[in-house]
Amino acid sequence: MATEKETPWQDCARAKQQAILNAIPNKWRILDPIPSAADLRDCTGTYIQQYLTPREIEITEADAVFITQQTTVGSWSAVEVTEAFCHRAAIAHQLVNCLHEIFFDEAVAAASALDAYFVKHRKPVGPLHGLPVSLKDQFHIKGVETTMGYVGWIGTFEGSKGDTRARTFESELVKELRNLGAVLFCKTSVPTTLMSGETANNIVGYTWNPKNRHLSCGGSSGGEGALLALRGSPAGFGTDIGGSIRVPASFNGIFGLRPST
């Protein structure tokens, strides 16, 4: 009996990896070879700053509280802030493999709508008005894929082929963040199954620690830890049962909070 030939999983993984890179605008691609970890251990601070404008550095190195103090009163536009973090996140991914999904165009469109709302009503949508927020790939966003590091989940909804929820379903946290005025712009890397203290999968490969690219960024919210350490996001959400927020926070020198159930 003749059957449809299946695409080898390696080809599927490489195609997805390339699709992530293709989502980065050409103007934000690093053209020169990135030094090896032996030649460049720490890619935070002045190293990543070389790819940014002084204004982008000013915005992306402000903390989330200061950013919202500017965006909620109209001093900084949501679009300018969003574009700055999208640029820095794009550079971060090319340095340490920390992103699973990139939807910068949708983020800028959402930020533009927030700016229009502020101009019309002279008030913010909510307390997070214009704040870019990154999410661990475990969360669902309408129109954005969720693979959680499984090659077999590429193009499906959690492995269910033909399930239309893959393009329509959103996690409750995502809905609440939108209601508060946050701008969602990327989803970050995780270890396959999420059950690991380091972040590696067959889609993006290994996510390195930005402070020392010989070492792990932790897991399972490792992409979040690495991205925040590189200031590619001012605030992000992960999940934690056995340390999946606390471990990356510790490994990357940032603050992580695991609230009670």
Query: What is the DSSP annotation of 109-137?
Result: HHHHHHHHHHHHHSS-SSTTTT-EEEEET
Residue 3 has pLDDT above 60, yes or no: no
pTM of the model: 0.96
CA angle 152, 169, 225 (to 5 degrees): 65
Give the residue numbers annotated as catalytic, written as ranges.
136, 220, 244
Q: What pLDDT does 24 receive?
A: 98
Q: What pLDDT does 54 receive?
A: 98
Mean pLDDT of 203-215: 98
Mean pLDDT of 161-168: 75
> Shortest CA distance to 13 belongs to which of 135, 198, 149?
149
Phi, psi of 100 (to 5 degrees): -105, -35
- Domain 9-25+41-252 superfamily per CATH: Amidase signature (AS) domain (3.90.1300.10)
Domain boundaries defined on the chain: 9-25+41-252
| pLDDT tens per residue across span 27-39 | 999 999 999 999 9
Query: How many H helices and E strands in the chain?
Result: 9, 8
